[in-house]
Structure 1
Amino acid sequence: MELGRRGLLATVSAAGMATALPRLSRAQAANTIRIGVMTDMSGTYRDNTGPGSVACTQQAVAEFGSRGFPVEVLVADHQNKPDIGVNLARQWYDQGVDVILDIPTSSVGLAVQNVAREKNKIALNVGSATSDLTGAQCSPTGIHWAYDTYQLARSTGGATVKAGGDSWFFITADYAFGHALERDASNFVRAAGGKVLGTVRTPFPATSDFSSFLVQAQAAKPKVIGLANAGLDTINCVKQAAEFGITRRGIKLASLLLFITDVHSIGLQTGQGLVCSETFYWDLNDRTRAFTRRVLPKMPNLHPNCIHAGCYSAALHFLKAVADMGVPAAKASGADIVARMKAMPTEDDAFGAGRIREDGRKLCPSYLLEVKAPEESKAPWDYYKVLQTTPAEEAFRPLADGKCPLVKS
């Protein structure tokens, strides 16, 4: 391995265009695997993806070790804009990048997956949430890791309705992710006998003041305000709801996508009692704690969430498949290496044993978590207690329901 080349080998300018990649000789290019981490390095999802996703990808490369071919990790900031993501993807693939990883923001993830399909290259979506990635828009060169809107809605939304929260009002980020999360959560609410009283769409990513949206939600008098957003949007919603005393009036907040990095920003005093779902928590077991200890030196001031851990897991499994196929065969066809990744069982310290379905969905258990009260936390980042676990085969949308054309009826 060429350790010096694992850093930030590609960046983006203010216009979002990737710089030219370092030139390799023909022999080097034929034997070098290039992983492009396309992520949010400066926007609303920076803490949930960004540097942490890069660090965990680098950790996977370091643990994979030298197996006869060098690996380079490149980084670009797509600024949460589909057009920038598409331009970056085309440039990277044309310049010899073999796989693009992370891709937060569902609109960007869907767009990049389409480019990967067109060029027979690989897109490993981790930060994108929409379940459409393995539904009607599934791809033979795409895999969806870590979590999705169906899994979040099933776990958090379903549990909240069962606990008595049977009337909802949604505050929804106005783009593909928010729409998909609201759709999937609404389906679970109605299926459980609940009702949706209304929704309000918030601009993305152009607001930090959610007061008018919270007032509108409160006026509908729901039992639950569902937050179909993420990152700084979720943090600001929770903090402003606390300032308005909304939960003291008997309305419950259901954050449909909340990460431990968000809880750290919100604080236990404000966030205590919030329920959320993740597929990874650093303190779940000995293996998750061991992985976290290894990666923490690369990501100071953060603990990994399921996106960070998903980048580690996806990169490691990809490299194992490359080693199994051989570099020439892996480079020849993205569809072939994705097929090999699906055929091989997944195994790592972040998620344990698992598999990838034919629609591209990576399966893993889902954990319903509750944010601890300050007095319950015994150590830094000791933020969650596990309420229930949904097994991997049950956590995600049934294969037959996704309408993925790759699935044989």
Structure 2
Amino acid sequence: MPKLTRTTRLATRFLAGVALLFAASTARAEIATVKLGVLTDLSGFAADSTGEGSVVAARLAVEDFRKERPAIKVEVIQSDHQNKPDIGSATARRWIAEGQVDAILDVPFSSVALAVQEVVRDSKAAFIASGPGTSDLTGPKCSANTVHWTYDTWALAHGTALALVRAGKTRWFFLTADYAFGHALEADAASVVKQEGGQVVGNVRHPTAAADFSSFLLQAQGSRAQVIALANAVGDTVNSVKQAAEFGITGGGQDLAALLMQLSDVHAIGLKDAQGLYLTEGFYWDANPGTRAFADRFAAQMKGRRPTANQAGVYAGALAYLRATAAADSTDGRTVVARMKAGPTNDPLFGEGQVRQDGRHVHPMYLFQVKTPAESKEPFDYYKLVQTIPAAEAFRPLSEGRCPLVKAP
């Protein structure tokens, strides 16, 4: 083999150095820009609990991430899925095909979220779901590209039912929306009631967007149940609580428990009618100085409104995703989600948490009771804490979800 001249050796070293610099710059360019798409309900009956507030929450997460990694540019776009699975999945497919997003955020409504998850599953994108409730996202339909933040039907139903039954409220009646989400809420809560030695004394199903709940509430009132559980959502929950107040149900000694209710729903009802109601949430804006500071920033852009748990989930999920892209030096969905699962999460809204193998983010949940008008000291001061549910108990056990990603012990 011929000997290399000094000039040749120097040239070889120079070219090797250039190659290393090029490789490094290519890696940096891979995450020079991160693109987030907030796919939400901007015009329907969940617009108050998600909607524009979810977009604001995502932008606040970007603001905070830029303080940590100012060299990484983050873009945020938004779209209204109109609560329709076909529109949601078509938007997700177009965003991904055109390279408009690296991650899709929020997506309230379980049917839309499940459709979006199937689009994302075999793509290079990630899905950080904070708006939907179905626990199937981390159960049989789980995906290596998905993280489910905030809450799910199992956590809501178990949190409320377990606490109230153990407090001696053992006779339950369910007023349930007649579709898959309502059925899942009722089934999960009823299972807890029975396991804890309680009794389900009756149930009734109602159509979605029902205007008149009088016949349903009369059945619940006549059952003499200690707890009337509302296994419905948004407008149906608001209307059923308002009409329950007209019937004097809580004044007659029965408790109302909403298995899915957010701050925006209580605001729509008003404390006069909602007072005494029990509910489970993963976030409350006035829980501590960190949540209050975020709520003040949020309110400054939302005409004084305080964030819901869903909107808080958009912030926390987006921030955790952005940190993982930086740590993984990648925007590939599966790579980033794997990085999210590799270590603990920590943010000012949900505190310390963990993304499990099935994609479920676990954190404490809280049983609240709605304050009376006299107890409320300022706008949106609606909740008093009844019980903290530890993260280890708040969500369905990993072994029970039937997620194919979960490795057997």
Fold match (TM-score > 0.5): yes
Mapped pair 1:102 → 2:106 = yes
User: How far apart in 1 are the matches of 2:120 and 2:178?
Assistant: 25
| Cα shift at 1:119 | 2.3
Question: Any idea what the Cα deviations from partners look like across 1:107-138, whole Å, max 9, x if unmatched?
Answer: 11122112111324211111111112111111
User: How far apart in 2 are the matches of 1:91 and 1:197?
Assistant: 49
User: How far apart in 1 are the matches of 2:359 and 2:206?
Assistant: 31
Instruction: Report if the CA contact (8 A) 1:67-1:323 is conserved.
Output: no
Paired position in structure 1 for 2:20: none
Paired position in structure 1 for 2:218: 215
User: How far apart in 2 are the matches of 1:175 and 1:78?
Assistant: 20
Mapped pair 1:302 → 2:301 = no
Equivalences for residues 7-406 of structure 1 within 5 A: 31-65=32-66, 67-96=70-99, 97-204=101-208, 206-326=209-329, 329-330=330-331, 333-406=332-405
| Cα shift at 1:281 | 0.9
User: How far apart in 1 are the matches of 2:407 and 2:270?
Assistant: 47
Instruction: Report if the CA contact (8 A) 2:31-2:72 is conserved.
Output: no
| Cα shift at 1:211 | 2.6
Instruction: Report if the CA contact (8 A) 1:282-1:289 is conserved.
Output: yes
Instruction: Report if the CA contact (8 A) 2:328-2:335 is conserved.
Output: no
Range with greater deviation from structure 2 (249-258 or 135-144): 249-258
User: How far apart in 1 are the matches of 2:318 and 2:326?
Assistant: 12
| Cα shift at 1:308 | 0.8
Paired position in structure 1 for 2:21: none
User: How far apart in 1 are the matches of 2:98 and 2:240?
Assistant: 41
Question: Any idea what the Cα deviations from partners look like across 1:177-215, whole Å, max 9, x if unmatched?
Answer: 2222112111111111122233333333x4333233323
Counterpart AA for 2:339: R
Instruction: Report if the CA contact (8 A) 2:148-2:361 is conserved.
Output: yes
Counterpart AA for 1:401: E
- The structure-2 alpha-carbon separation of the partners of 1:340 and 1:384, relative to structure 1 and needing over 3 Å to count, comes to same
Question: Any idea what the Cα deviations from partners look like across 1:87-115, whole Å, max 9, x if unmatched?
Answer: 12111211211111111111111221121
* Structure 1 unaligned residues grouped into runs of 5+: 1-26
Question: Any idea what the Cα deviations from partners look like across 1:274-332, whole Å, max 9, x if unmatched?
Answer: 11111111111111112212222122242112111110000111111111222xx32xx
* Structure 2 unaligned residues grouped into runs of 5+: 1-27
% identical aligned pairs: 54
Counterpart AA for 2:376: S
What SS does structure 2 have at the residue aligned with 1:72?
strand
Counterpart AA for 1:159: A
What SS does structure 2 have at the residue aligned with 1:387?
strand
| Cα shift at 1:354 | 1.6
Instruction: Report if the CA contact (8 A) 2:256-2:276 is conserved.
Output: no
| Cα shift at 1:345 | 2.0
Counterpart AA for 1:362: H
Counterpart AA for 1:134: T
User: How far apart in 2 are the matches of 1:266 and 1:174?
Assistant: 22
Counterpart AA for 1:75: Q
User: How far apart in 1 are the matches of 2:31 and 2:348?
Assistant: 31
| Cα shift at 1:217 | 3.2
- The structure-2 alpha-carbon separation of the partners of 1:29 and 1:335, relative to structure 1 and needing over 3 Å to count, comes to closer
| Greater gyration radius | 2
CA RMSD of aligned residues (A): 2.0
| Cα shift at 1:29 | 9.8
**TM-score when normalising by structure 2:** 0.87
| Cα shift at 1:70 | 2.2
Range with greater deviation from structure 2 (292-301 or 392-401): 292-301
Counterpart AA for 2:347: D
**TM-score when normalising by structure 1:** 0.87
